[in-house]
Amino acid sequence: MPRSVKFMGYRITCAKCLTICLGLTFLAGCYLAILPIQSEKLTLPKHVRYEITSKIQEKHRLAIIVPFRDRFEELLHFVPHMFKFLNRQNVPFHIFVIQQADVNRFNRASLINVGFLYTKKDYDYIVMHDVDLLPLNDNLKYEYPAFGPLHISSPETHPKYHYSTFIGGILIVKREHFEMVKGMSNNYWGWGLEDDEFYVRLKDAELTVRRPENITTGTENTFKHIHDKTYRRRDMRNCYNQRDVTRRRDRVTGLHDINYSIHSVHRLTIDDLPLTVVNVELKCNKTMTPWCRCPEPQSKPAAKKTKT
């Protein structure tokens, strides 16, 4: 006699019991299969989630071009800060640190030109961004500048520079406009004036620079400027005919004649956040711009020691 068990008040055989169990398992399986996929809590790191979102959006892509040499401490602040700041705005971006790897004086504008050429295939707008200037106000939108360059660090809010034609610090330009003005001048070795020359290029091309709207913060609290003037000395030397030439508009040099070579490209992460470092050697035409290296000041001959 087959063994029997009691199931929900009915006496059934073990064979029947097995069939019922299998049936129930099958039905439960079917039910789970037709349930909509549960939105599992994403456990991916923030930047990966962000990159996925960016791909889905398929909109404008921003290359953050950081002219760079010897500012590693600032970079450690800059990268995490920019990810937090721009992820709140849902802006697809990538950071390119364009590092000058040669013995010439620092040339911010040429590095920006190199950064532009390096990124222009995949990115349709750039922001030239000082590594030591961190935006604090969420109303500073790093948006696609369809109608004209967008100067984020306006003279009303920049911690240090307040003249009306100032466009240094952080400036957003779309690819077509940067090309239209032939990029920036390559003549500016050492600190200063390259941004002012670029302002004249934009003006001559009848491109009006816009500034962010609805900003109620001021020079103290719109940006953090991590710049100690003693620790990070600005190279304000002028040698040869540098002063005369760099005070004038440069109608010759730009994107088309920049002389450089890229020595290496590195993909790094800082706090798990990705960035690209491009090591660039800028080549100087010493006949055209001898001030790419200033002569060392003559040290005074040591006074003769006399026996007393």
Footprint of ligand UDP (CB under 6 A): 66-71, 106, 108, 130-132, 168, 191, 227, 234
β-pairing verdict for 93-100 and 273-282:
parallel
Which residue number is nearest to Mn ion in terms of Cβ?
Answer: 227
Q: 106 contacts which partner out of ligand UDP, Mn ion, none, CB within 5 to 8 A by kind?
A: ligand UDP
User: Left (φ > 0), alpha (ψ -120 to 50) or beta: where does 29 sit?
Assistant: alpha
Residues that bind Mn ion (CB under 5 A): 132, 227
Rg from Cα positions in the chain: 30
**Please, what is the minimum distance in Å from the beta carbon of residue 213 to ligand UDP?**
23
Helices (H) and strands (E) in the chain, counts: 7, 11
Q: 69 contacts which partner out of Mn ion, ligand UDP, none, CB within 5 to 8 A by kind?
A: ligand UDP
Q: How far apart are CA 120 and CA 61, in angstroms?
A: 10
Of 129 and 177, CB closest to ligand UDP: 129
Q: How far apart are CA 194 and CA 104, in angstroms?
A: 16
Decide if 189 contacts 291 (C-beta within 8 A): yes
**Please, what is the minimum distance in Å from the beta carbon of residue 296 to ligand UDP?**
18
Of 123 and 198, CB closest to Mn ion: 198
Of 64 and 91, CB closest to Mn ion: 64
**Please, what is the minimum distance in Å from the beta carbon of residue 65 to ligand UDP?**
10
Of 108 and 182, CB closest to ligand UDP: 108
- Interaxial angle between packed helices 46-57 and 72-87, expressed in degrees from 0 to 180 and rounded to the nearest 10: 50
Which residue number is nearest to ligand UDP in terms of Cβ?
Answer: 130
Of 101 and 226, CB closest to Mn ion: 226
User: What tokens were used for 136?
Assistant: 């604090």
